[in-house]
Structure 1
Amino acid sequence: MLGIARRGLRLATGLVLGAVFTVAELPFVALSALSLLLVLAWPRGRRAVLKPVTAGGRALTEANRRRLRSYITTDTSHAYADHRALQYLSLRWALGLLGALVLSVTLIGAAYGISWIFILLLSEVRNPGTLAIASIGGLFLLFLSLQGTFGVANLETKLARRYLGPSHQEELERRIEQLATSRAGVVAAVNDERRRIERDLHDGVQQRLVALGMLLGRALRSQDEQRAEQLLRQAHEESGQALTELREVAWRVYPTVLDEAGLRAALEMVAERSAIPVRLDYELTAEPETAVATVAYFVVSEAVTNAVKHSSAGLITVRVAQGEDAVLVRIEDDGLGGADSAGSGLFGLARRVAALDGRFRVDSPAGGPTTITAELPCA
């Protein structure tokens, strides 16, 4: 809910700026059209007029591109033609006026919706029915105008992409670049995982097996039955510890419970195995596809492991929810903050998420809290 409110406020700010830009765009479009019409049959004059017109059009268009990128999160191409910029401005001013109208209605609806508070505080209510109807009508008008804010922002996006791009070729080039980057990231993540597995086996299980072999060898060579029995007992304990560590390595590579019981059960086991209390809010009503579930599991597992090792937190909160077209994963701890998103663990998670065309973000100011979010696209 808070995220929707923030997005609405950001969009409203973008529309306010768009309405302000209309003050310059409308006179510019009118004067440019009139000037070009006067020199339509005079080639030299048309060229002389066209130069400042295109320069002014580009300046206004660039201002709108910055506004769209900052407040409406719409990216456009910088390689648009001059005539496309003029076509864009010739229509954009109308959206600016529409945005101003919608915002005005929003203010009116808000004023009527909360007017009963001031009336109750400042004067005596003589017609409570009329006051109630006015307040309800104001709130309804506020609701409709807020929906209109999102609608105008959507029209702004469509208009900008229609005239300013990016073109189909630019989209393809950007997609190819993204795929090449994500493929390289996947290869690097696989290599990192192999090195980690080799390190775990070498430093853990292999050392245990070497110690086990030495104990068995000493037991075979011993002439003292009591000593041999003691060595065999130690070897038995060592074999149990080696088996435990081998299971830990297998769990970190891929937990079988993820295939057998699903994502929720796998995350519950992560919470149970954590040295810090973990509160799990699992809101998915259906099991996600295997690739999404796997990445979601590793995001939570690695984030919880990092929090246990470095955060000094007292509680870790994990939330897995269904977005509009993505699985949303959020891990937050109340620790000291300062997590390095470029570190090997978190950077590896970012590459895993990027391989699914997802979004990954780490927010960890000094003093905490640390919040890790991942958006994993799904059908």
Structure 2
Amino acid sequence: MRTWARTGAGVALGACSAVAHVVLALPVAVALLVPALRLAADTTVQRLAALERRRVVALLGGADHGIDPAPPRALRYLAARIPVGLLGGAVLALLGIGLAAAVTLGYSWLTQTPWAMERDGTVISGGVIVAYAVPGAVLLYLALAGAAGVARGERALLARLLAPSREERLARRVEELARTRDAVVAAVDDERRRIERDLHDGVQQRLVALGMLLGRARRHPDRAAELVAQAHDEAGRALAELRDVSWRVYPAALDTGGLATALESVAERAPLPVRIRCDLPVEPPATVRAAAWFVISEAVTNAAKHSGAQRVDVEVATVDGRLRVAVRDDGRGGADPAGGGLAGLARRVAAADGVFAVTSPAGGPTVVTAELPCA
């Protein structure tokens, strides 16, 4: 019922706009012939086409390609849809007349009062109701089918006349590939800097301390046993930090146990409770697994460090050939999507040809989502 209501509203608005376009046709044609008015006319045509596109997309289920057409294409579209819009108006008008006739017929029969559409005061009987019922049902079906056909026609015109051409699609793809390439380069640079920072601030400092302890042991043989023991402990801590760095770069569990197993290690290492729901009938490709794991790991780390959250919920599922990841925390919110950490995640997802989004109103919750193509 809701779909039919949307379709009816879309067809009705289309009929009204078609009448408006007929009225505007002559002024726009004159403006296009006058050089001083041509820019304003082109802008008007593009805006009208954009309004029609939003109507068809929102109410009639058309596909939005997200490209504003050039004025000539917009003008062709507006001209082509005028007959379709007027046809939709005619269908709705006939439907309204039929429904009005049915309502007044029923009222006359039930109340035994003269039929409103008859001037001679005829009172409708049960036989007349039966006689009108079958053709009325057929006409109702035809009117509804006509409205559905008008909606299909609107969608077809939008796809045919406002959809990007092959050249425009190729140009968009080239732009996307250029952005993706830049995102890959930026993501690699971010990763390199992060690894260098982890090694410098952690492992390198441990190794320096280890070397100093061993040097002191050589200079002070009387304390060699104590200093060697300290060096042994420092070596153990250095190995632990090196394993942590290696895990943050790429956990071996991704290859041996899959994404769900790797996410369990994220929950184990997190300083706050993390609930993970990973529903994957088939393991995604390795690059997709790695990108998803990195997004989840960094989002959980950010929540623990900056949000004041008490809990994090992670959901992973495959929908329509895409891996969908959502990380939700109950923290204070206010996360900046343009900040260094979240911007790095966005670049990493873009490098995998995915979509990344952050919702973080003041007061929370913060929701980090990513969609990655599995094909």
Q: TM-score interval w.r.t. the shorter chain?
A: 0.7 to 0.9
Q: Which runs of 5+ in 1 are unaligned?
A: 1-7, 36-46, 103-144
Match of 1:376 among 369, 372, 375: 372
Asked if 2 retains the 8 angstrom alpha-carbon contact of 1:77 and 1:165, the reply is no
Residue of structure 2 in register with 1:77 after alignment: 68
Say whether the 8 Å CA contact 2:84–2:150 is kept in structure 1: no
Do residues 88 (structure 1) and 81 (structure 2) align?
Answer: yes
Query: What does the per-residue CA deviation read over 1:246-303, in whole Å, with 9 as the maximum and x for residues that have no partner?
Result: 0011011111110111111001111111111011111111111111111111111110
Residue in 2 that maps onto 1:311: 307
| Bigger Cα displacement from structure 2, 310-319 vs 20-29 | 20-29
TM-score (norm 2): 0.73
Unaligned stretches of 5+ in structure 2?
Answer: 35-40, 96-143
d(CA) in 2 for partners of 1:361, 1:273: 25
Matches of 1:99 and 1:203, distance apart in 2: 72
Query: Identity of paired residues, percent?
Result: 50
Amino acid at match of 1:320: V
C-alpha distance in structure 2 between counterparts of 1:12 and 1:350, whole Å:
39
CA RMSD of aligned residues (A): 3.6
**Counterpart Cα distance in 1 of 2:20 and 2:202:** 73
Cα deviation for residue 159 of structure 1 reads 3.0
Work out the CA distance in 2 between the residues paired with 1:197 and 1:374: 23
Q: Which whole-Å deviations, capped at 9, do the CAs of 1:122-160 have from their partners, x for residues lacking one?
A: xxxxxxxxxxxxxxxxxxxxxxx9xx99x9988755431
What's the counterpart of residue 62 of structure 1? 50
Query: 1:217: which partner in 2?
Result: 215
**Residue 321 of structure 1, aligned match among 317, 320, 323:** 317
Secondary structure of the residue that 1:241 maps to in structure 2? helix
- Which residue number in structure 2 is paired with residue 237 of structure 1? 233
- 1:127-166 equivalences under 5 Å are 157-166=155-164
Q: What residue in structure 2 maps to residue 25 of structure 1?
A: 17
Q: Is contact 1:282–1:321 with CA below 8 Å preserved after alignment?
A: yes
Distance 1:13 1:249, change over 3 A: farther
Report 1:1-379 matches (<5 A): 15=7, 18-28=10-20, 60-67=48-55, 74=64, 75-81=66-72, 82-92=75-85, 157-224=155-222, 227-379=223-375
What amino acid sits opposite 2:68 in the alignment?
Answer: S
Aligned-partner residue type, residue 27 of structure 1 = V
Query: In structure 1, what is the Cα distance between the partners aligned to 2:188 and 2:19?
Result: 58
Q: 1:93 to 1:235 in 2, by over 3 A?
A: farther
Alignment partners' CA distance in 2, 1:207 and 1:80: 64
| Amino acid in the other structure paired with 1:285 | P
Structure 1-normalised TM-score?
A: 0.72
Aligned residues: 311
User: CA 1:94–1:356 in structure 2 vs 1: closer, same or farther (change >3 Å)?
Assistant: farther
